Structure 1
Amino acid sequence: MKYISSMIICLSIWTFAPFSEIHADEESDARMALYKKSAAITDIPWEYLAAVDQYERQVHDDPKKGRVTAIEVDPMFWTGSTGEMPSTFFPDGWGADGNGDQKIELDNDEDVLYSIGKYIQSYGTTKEDIKIALWNYYKRDLTVQTIMNTAQVFKKFQTVDLTNRDFPLPIQANYSYRSTWGDARGFGGRRIHEGTDIFANYGVPVKSTTYGVVEMKGWNKFGGWRIGIRDIYNIYHYYAHLQSFSEDIQVGDIVQPGDQIGSVGASGYGPPGTSGKFPPHLHYGMYQDNGKNEWSFDPHPFLRKWERMAKN
C-alpha cells in the first residue's frame, strides 16, 4: 500500500471490543452521519466511503486515536503545512476542507473523508470508476476487491453495525469438535492444519457465520467442495469438505449469519469428485488480511463463542 501506512491488526478490535452496546450504537450513528454527509458533497455513494474506512480499521494497530473514522493518510502526501500530494494526483496538494472551517487537517474526520471522496470523484462516480480509483490508491487487487465487496454488504443492509454471528452448524445437530489448529497434516506434503474440524453426519446444513460476500466456490484438492466468504473485517472464512452447495449460492452473493451455503460431507484429498477418505466433517478456517499479507489463525475460540451465542 503506497499512500497509507499499515500496521499489524489487533484482532480484539472486532472480537472482544470493550464498548457497551449503547456506545456501539452511538458510534455507528456517528459514522453513518459522516459517511452520508461526505457522500452528499462528493457524489460518491456513502457505502464506498464507509467501506474504505472499514478496511482502514483493520490495517492500523490503533485506528481510532479519538476520531470517529480510521482512515490515515501519510502526512508527506497531505497539502498545507505538512506537505503536498504528488502532482500526478493533484498539483496543488491532496487534502481538502470538508467542514468549512478554512483548515485542512489530517486528524479531522470530515476533512479526510471529503478528501477521499474528492480523490475518487476525480476518476468518476460509476462503480468501475471507483474501482479504478481504489486500485490507483492502494495498488493491491485483494484490497480493492475487499472494499468493493464490503460496500455491497453495507448497501444491502443499510448499516455499518453488522456484528451478529452464528455457529456454522445447527445447534440441534449431532456434532463434535475440538481445537486442531496447527496439528500436522500429511496429504500433499508436510503442512499444518489451518482450521477446526467439526464432525457431523453427511448432509447436515452448513451456514454462514458472518456477513460477507462469497469470494470462492468450487473444488480444491485439499478441501474438496469448498466455499470461501470474506467478511467486512478483512477475514476470509473457509468452509471445506462439503457434500454439496446450496442450489442458489454463487460467487459474488452477499450472505448473512445463518444463511445455508452447503452441507457436511467428506470430499477432498484428490481430484474432483474424490470423497470418503475420512469421516464426514466441516473444516472451518479463518484467515486475516492486514493489507500486505494473509495468514491463518485459530478459529476454535470464536466457534465456542458463537456456539454459546446460538444456544442462548
Structure 2
Amino acid sequence: MKYIGTMIVSLCLYSFLFAGVIHADEESDARMALYKKTSAVTDVPWEYLAAIDQYERQVHDDPKKGRVTAIEADPMFWTGSAGEMPSALFPDGWGADGNGDSKAELNNDEDVLWSIGNYIKSYGTTKEDIKIALWNYYKRDLTVQTIMNTAKVFHKFQTVNLTNRDFPLPTQSNYSYRSTWGDARGFGGRRIHEGTDIFANYGVPVKSTTYGVVEMKGWNKFGGWRIGIRDIYNIYHYYAHLQNFSEDIKVGDIVQPGDVIGAVGASGYGPPGTSGKFPPHLHYGMYQDNGKNEWSFDPYHFLRKWERMAKNNS
C-alpha cells in the first residue's frame, strides 16, 4: 500500500501512551465498536482493522481532529487519480461511503474503515490474503509484520486497551542500574551503547515488560543469547546477554507483561557460547519504528516508572 504523510512519532506522545497511562474507556469502546461494525459488513476480522489503525496511530504526529481512528489515506489513492495500483482494482479510487450519507470522506472514520475493509476483501479474508493486501498497500515488510503481529495480540486478548507494563527483573531480586544509553563501547569497533544495563546475579528471571510478539531469538556476537519482542506501539524490545531462554519460547509467541522469557547471564562478545567477558547483567534496549526507519532511544526513565509500578503492585 502506498503511504503518504508518515512522520517521526513524537516521543512525548509515545511517553504518554507507553508509560502506562490508561486511555479513557469511552475511546476504547468507540474504537472496538467501529472495528466490529466494519468487520461484520466486510468479513475482515476486526483485529486486522484494529491493528492497521494501531500501527498508523503510532506514525502520525498530527492530532486526530475529532476522529476515533488514526488511519490516513493518500487523497490520490482515495480518488483513483494516482495512476498506480488503484486503477486495476478500483478505477475510481477505493474511497467509499461507509456511513450511508452518500459521501466518501477522508476524515470520516466509518468511510475510511469501510474502504480499508473493502480493499482488503478484494484480496480475500484469509491470513495470507490479508498479508498480501497489506504488502501491496504499504510496500514494507516490517510494517506488514508489525500489523500481523499486533492483530495476533488483539485476537488473543480481545481488546485494544493493553496498557499494563512490568519491570524486566523481579523487584525483590538484587539488582542495580543507571542511565547508560549513549555511553561509548569498543567491542566490534567504536559505537554507542543502545540501552540500559541492569546488573544482577546469574539466573535471575528476565520478564517481558509489555504485550507483544517474539520477533527474534538466538545468538548475536554483541548481545549473546538475546530475544527481541515487538509490541503494539511499533517498539522493538531487546533483551541481551541472557544465560538461557525460557523453555519452549519461540519466534511468533505472544507474550504479556510478567511472562518469563529467560535468565540473566553474561553471554556475548564472541562466537556462540562465549560468556564471562563482563559481569552478569541484562542489556535492555528499545527501538522505535516510524514506518520508514527504526532508531534506539533511552529506556531508563521507562524502566524507573515500571519499577515503581511493579513495587506498588507487589
Q: Does 1:182 align with 2:174?
A: no
Q: Distance in 1 between matches of 2:122 and 2:166?
A: 41
Q: Distance in 1 between matches of 2:258 and 2:17?
A: 23
Q: Distance in 2 between matches of 1:22 and 1:292?
A: 28
Poorly superposed stretches of 4+, deviation over 4 Å: 20-23, 82-85
Task: Name the residue aligned to 1:117.
Answer: 117
Assess if the C-alpha contact under 8 Å between 2:23 and 2:161 holds in 1.
Answer: no
1:224-253 per-residue CA deviation (whole Å, 9 max, x = no partner) reads 000000000000000000000000211000
Task: Name the residue aligned to 1:97.
Answer: 97
Q: Distance in 2 between matches of 1:105 and 1:142?
A: 29
Assess if the C-alpha contact under 8 Å between 2:21 and 2:163 holds in 1.
Answer: no
Q: Does 1:295 align with 2:295?
A: yes
RMSD: 1.8
Q: Does 1:139 align with 2:139?
A: yes
Flag the 1:108–1:237 CA change in 2: closer, same or farther, 3 A: same
Assess if the C-alpha contact under 8 Å between 1:3 and 1:77 holds in 2.
Answer: no
Assess if the C-alpha contact under 8 Å between 2:236 and 2:288 holds in 1.
Answer: yes
Assess if the C-alpha contact under 8 Å between 1:63 and 1:71 holds in 2.
Answer: no
Counterpart amino acid of 2:284? Y
Partner of 1:54: helix, strand, or coil? Answer: helix
Q: Distance in 1 between matches of 2:298 and 2:21?
A: 26
Matches for 1:149-228 after TM superposition, within 5 Å: 149-228=149-228
Q: Distance in 1 between matches of 2:16 and 2:289?
A: 18
In structure 1, stretches of 5+ residues that fail to align are none
Flag the 1:263–1:219 CA change in 2: closer, same or farther, 3 A: same
Flag the 1:274–1:22 CA change in 2: closer, same or farther, 3 A: closer
1:98-148 per-residue CA deviation (whole Å, 9 max, x = no partner) reads 111111100000000000000000000100000000000000000000000
Q: Distance in 2 between matches of 1:110 and 1:224?
A: 47
Counterpart amino acid of 2:279? P
Partner of 1:87: helix, strand, or coil? Answer: helix
Assess if the C-alpha contact under 8 Å between 1:71 and 1:112 holds in 2.
Answer: yes
Task: Name the residue aligned to 1:106.
Answer: 106
Flag the 1:17–1:227 CA change in 2: closer, same or farther, 3 A: closer
Counterpart amino acid of 2:294? E
TM-score by length of 1: 0.96
Assess if the C-alpha contact under 8 Å between 1:181 and 1:298 holds in 2.
Answer: yes
Q: Distance in 2 between matches of 1:64 and 1:261?
A: 36
Flag the 1:39–1:63 CA change in 2: closer, same or farther, 3 A: farther
1:25-64 per-residue CA deviation (whole Å, 9 max, x = no partner) reads 1100000000000000110000000000000001111252
Task: Name the residue aligned to 2:281.
Answer: 281
Partner of 2:145: helix, strand, or coil? Answer: helix
Q: Distance in 2 between matches of 1:223 and 1:213?
A: 19
Task: Name the residue aligned to 1:48.
Answer: 48
Paired residues, number: 310
- 1:88: how far off? 2.5
Flag the 1:99–1:5 CA change in 2: closer, same or farther, 3 A: same
Task: Name the residue aligned to 1:240.
Answer: 240
Q: Percent identity?
A: 87
Counterpart amino acid of 2:161? D
Assess if the C-alpha contact under 8 Å between 1:84 and 1:93 holds in 2.
Answer: no
Q: Distance in 1 between matches of 2:233 and 2:271?
A: 33
Q: Distance in 1 between matches of 2:114 and 2:162?
A: 24
Q: Distance in 2 between matches of 1:75 and 1:113?
A: 15
- 1:84: how far off? 8.4
Counterpart amino acid of 1:266? A
Q: Distance in 1 between matches of 2:278 and 2:21?
A: 43
Q: Distance in 2 between matches of 1:149 and 1:90?
A: 28
Task: Name the residue aligned to 1:259.
Answer: 259
Q: Does 1:62 align with 2:62?
A: yes
Q: Distance in 2 between matches of 1:277 and 1:22?
A: 42
- 1:24: how far off? 1.7
Assess if the C-alpha contact under 8 Å between 2:22 and 2:163 holds in 1.
Answer: no
